[in-house]
Amino acid sequence: MFDVADFTKYSDPFKLLAQPLDPKGVFDAWARVLPLSRTATNGAESKPADAGLPDIKVDEYADYAKDLERILQAHGWQASESALSNIRKNIDAWTKVSGAFMTPMLGKHWLDYLLDASQRSVLYTDALRQRGNLFVEHEEGSDKTVLSWDHEMVVDGTKLARPVNYSLVRIIPPAGVTVREDGRPYIIIDPRAGHGSGIGGFKNESEVGAAIHQGHPTYFVTFTRLPVPGQTLADVTAAEADFVREVRRRHPESPKPVVIGNCQGGWAAMLLAATNPDITGPVVANGAPLSYWAGQKGKNPMRYLGGLVGGATTVKLLSDLGNGQFDGASLVSNFERLSPSNTWWSKYYSLWDQVDTEVPRFVGFERWWGSFYYMTPAEISWIVENLFVGNRLGRGCANLNERTHVDLRNINSPVIIFASHGDNITPPQQALGWIADHYKDVEEIRARGQRILYTLHENVGHLGIFVSSSVAKKEHDQIISTLKAIEALAPGLYEMVIAEVQGEGVERSFKVAFAERSIEQMMEQTGGDDSNRPFAAVARFSEIGTELYDLTLRPIVQAISNETSAKLLADTSPMRMQRWLESDRNPLMQPVQGLAEEVRKQRRPAADDNPFRMMERAGAGLVTQWLDNARDMQNAMIEWNFHLLWGAPPVQAMGERLSGTVSEAPREDLRTLTSVQDALDRIELGDFADGVIRMLIFLASSRKEVRRSRLERSNRMLMATEPFASMKAKHRTRMIHKESLIVGYEPEAALAALPKLILSMEDRRRAMALCEEIAGSRDEMSPETLAMLDRLAQALELESSPLLDETKTLRKIA
């Protein structure tokens, strides 16, 4: 008989930390549960005694056990490393504290500290009161955003044919800033993940600031606290498409607008571009989770939560208890659970510690973080079923509605992905994994004419991607500068490498280059990816669970819920109750404002070298460390329990049909694509413009990297030199795609056909001169680029060029 102890001893993480895991022991325990033959241990399929069980290889159980062991080892290693670092910090801190106490002025320091601490208590409480009052103002109907920029309404989404609670506003340039009406417009979409809009323009140094200070018309998509009853994600996407059309109508002489999406606004921007490919310009997705199942074992536990809370059934239940509205506070609480030290201690101690300077930043950020927004049941269900749990968008099988399938391969415009290794909400795998899920290789990306760029930050956190001033000065500023010329880039996959060259502060200069990457190289940079199978099992369970809920409990829950019960449930949630009690609605808080004003008049802060102040800070560090240790244990348990439950081979088999991706399907012969055939049929057809573009693509392919300076010179040539200047942007883009396909599939024939495209010797010399001008200084050229210039000259039957003559002379001398 099966002995529970046989298996539970391998499911106890604390015992596993003490001794190595025995894969054979785990297999023996599982074999008692499932009647599998233990004779096949070399990868052969076992023979189940029950025909209803899936055929599972015995080695899968060993892999399952090893995965559990690796998870604990990874978390144990991280905890050990953190503990050692903390020990070193604590020794240094307490050494300084003990030294500071060796003073004859200890009594005076104690009195100074008591006065300082009592004054800080009042100012700290007043800051919480301000936060509470802003929360009350929001709950009572205020729709103010945290945008720090003046703006004006352009389109009110409630007045559209398909009304939604979204609106389009235009940022009013501050004094001294000139905006070019014929410049490329920018549209910024903020996340609707429980909070309000405006975080992308929270500061002067922000995405808004980076765009408007470079002279671009800048627009922002905002939304109100309550959705229009019955609105869907399809309605929201249609409204955002209307916003883009309105911006294009206002700027008819400008290129197509850039759409920037932050976090969940990133996948909203991708939905918009995939379903309306002809209206948007480049799409920038910042910290946007597009492949929710992607990640690494031992890291980023948030992706496991869906498998531990019941999948989509939970959000349906919460929506029904909310009387047809899903409370965004539930999403915010999930984010807060990721970092208990920051949620319950660090941000409050930082306010207490620096209360004389920290209050404006704290209150301003909490105004956004603690203002909770609602969604309709249809919206949150689509998000969970297609993104969080089902990952249908990443797998290529999402539908906005019955009429609209979403295929990210349909996006015509360049896509820029900004991710960070320090982001624990959207790790790089989730931001970039959709590329590996949709394409077998870069050749397929090129064949479809897509330009996908990505840039990876080393350590900035999730919110820092949108809020950090240093990121705005570097990454966002450089991305916006680059977008002026990005459409001159040939189709492919590139890493946008931003390197600081010299200077500090506003005087810093950067070198930007676009390095060609394979999908394998990109995924290796992210840290690799995990198996889809456990998450597919969760998705299948979620499908079954939601169907059962719809058929059984949902009518009952909807019948007992009403507006009064929903409001009571929302008001008594911990996140709201905390802020209600901090506001002036609490009679005990009403005297605080007057006390705070008196304290500010008589403020006497203790010196930083006050020994009691130093001891306070050292003690605060210990509390942070303790909470971080609790977080590490929490993360280990979340991941352990997820894989213990959903990683078991029989359970994984339940979701097998949902685990596949587009890239795993047999790929069609790319040469049979209409775009490829049309291009190859025109190898010898074209004129001067086609020939120059072909020559530039040859040069770019020889370098394997394109510097922004060269890209900008190429773009200036396309915009200012005939016959390119008189072409429409769409025609230039199609020409670049066509010539990229020709060079990629038939390079020798493409080179040999150049004389048929550029007929006269005068035009050939002019074409060669343009290429040399764009190539730049000879000192910056690689040997491959010099060799390619030589081949192009020979193909065009040119004897030589000044640049090539000089190069050959130098080679002979050498």
pLDDT (mean) for 157-183: 93
Counting runs of H as helices and runs of E as strands, what totals does the chain give?
Answer: 38, 15
Q: Can you name the residues that pair with 705 across neighbouring β-strands?
A: 515
Residue 548 CB partners (closer than 8 Å, separation 6+): none
Q: What is the pLDDT of residue 503?
A: 56
In this prediction, residue 47 has a pLDDT band, given cuts at 50, 70 and 90, of very low
Beta strand pairing status for 258-262 and 283-286? parallel
Residue-averaged pLDDT of the chain: 85
SS (H, E, C) 718-778: HHHCCCCCCCCHHHHHHHHHHHHHHHHHCHHHHHHCHHHHCCCHHHHHHHHHHHHHHHCCH
Q: Is 241 helix (H, G, I), strand (E, B) or coil?
A: helix
Most confident of 178-192, 325-339, 549-563: 549-563
pLDDT (mean) for 386-399: 92
CA distance 723 to 720: 9
CA distance 734 to 682: 13
Q: What is the pLDDT of residue 501?
A: 56
CA distance 788 to 790: 5
Is residue 479 classed exposed, middle or buried when 0-12, 13-18 and 19+ CB atoms within 10 A define those classes?
buried
In this prediction, residue 470 has a pLDDT band, given cuts at 50, 70 and 90, of low
Per-residue pLDDT of 409-462, as tens digits, reads 999 899 999 888 888 888 999 999 999 999 999 999 999 889 999 988 887 777
Per-residue pLDDT of 681-690, as tens digits, reads 999 999 999 9
Q: What is the pLDDT of residue 626?
A: 92
Query: Residue 200 pLDDT > 90, yes or no?
Result: no
In this prediction, residue 39 has a pLDDT band, given cuts at 50, 70 and 90, of very low
In this prediction, residue 490 has a pLDDT band, given cuts at 50, 70 and 90, of confident
Query: Tokens 């000044």 label which residue?
Result: 802
Q: Within a 10 A sphere around the Cβ of 94, how many other Cβ atoms?
A: 16
Taking each helix axis from N to C end, the angle separating 58-100 and 611-646, rounded to the nearest 10 degrees, works out to 180
Whether the CB-CB separation of 689 and 735 falls below 8 Å is answered with yes
**Residues shown for the chain:** 814
Per-residue pLDDT of 90-119, as tens digits, reads 898 899 998 888 888 899 999 999 999 999
Q: What is the pLDDT of residue 782?
A: 76
Q: What would the two tokens of residue 143 be?
A: 């729709």
Per-residue pLDDT of 698-728, as tens digits, reads 888 877 777 777 777 787 888 778 888 888 8
Query: Residue 811 pLDDT > 50, yes or no?
Result: no
Query: Tokens 């685990």 label which residue?
Result: 659
Q: Find, among 505, 504, 419, the residue nearest to 458 by Cα.
A: 419
Residue 193 CB partners (closer than 8 Å, separation 6+): 263, 264, 328, 331, 332, 335
Whether the CB-CB separation of 539 and 391 falls below 8 Å is answered with yes
Whether the CB-CB separation of 688 and 758 falls below 8 Å is answered with yes
State the DSSP string of 386-449: IIITT-HHHHT-EESSSS-EE-GGG--S-EEEEEETT-SSS-HHHHHHHHHHH-SSHHHHHHTT
Whether the CB-CB separation of 526 and 495 falls below 8 Å is answered with no
- Torsion angle of C-alpha atoms 273, 275, 278, 281, degrees rounded to 10: -10
Beta strand pairing status for 218-223 and 166-171? antiparallel
CA distance 682 to 695: 15
Q: Is 195 helix (H, G, I), strand (E, B) or coil?
A: coil
Rg (CA), the chain: 30
Q: What is the pLDDT of residue 617?
A: 93
CA distance 782 to 369: 50
Q: State the number of CA atoms in the 13 A half-sphere of 557 facing the CB.
A: 19
Per-residue pLDDT of 111-163, as tens digits, reads 999 999 999 999 999 999 999 999 999 999 887 788 888 899 999 999 999 99
How far from 608 is each of 12, 605, 770, CA to CA, in Å? Answer: 47, 9, 63
Q: What is the pLDDT of residue 423?
A: 83
Query: Tokens 């790319």 label which residue?
Result: 670
Query: Residue 56 pLDDT > 80, yes or no?
Result: no
